[in-house]
Amino acid sequence: MRCAIYVRYSSDLQRESSAEDQIRKCRAFADLKSWAVLDEYVRSDQEISGAGLAGRSALESLLADAKRRARPFDRILIDDTSRLARNLADALKMVETLKFYGVGVTFVSQGIDTLDPTARQLGNASTG
5 pLDDT exceeds 90? yes
Helix axes 57-66, 88-100, angle to 10 degrees: 30
Angle among Cα 77, 113, 127 to the nearest 5 degrees reads: 80
DSSP state letter for 72: S
Who wins on pLDDT, 9 or 78? 78
Please check whether residue 27 is in contact with residue 21, taking contact to mean a CB–CB distance below 8 angstroms: no
> Which residues have CB under 8 Å from 97's CB, separation 6+?
63
- Domains of the chain: residue spans and CATH: 2-123 (3.40.50.1390)
pLDDT digits (tens, 9 = 90+) for 20-66: 999 999 999 999 999 999 999 999 988 776 666 667 899 999 999 99
pTM, full prediction: 0.86
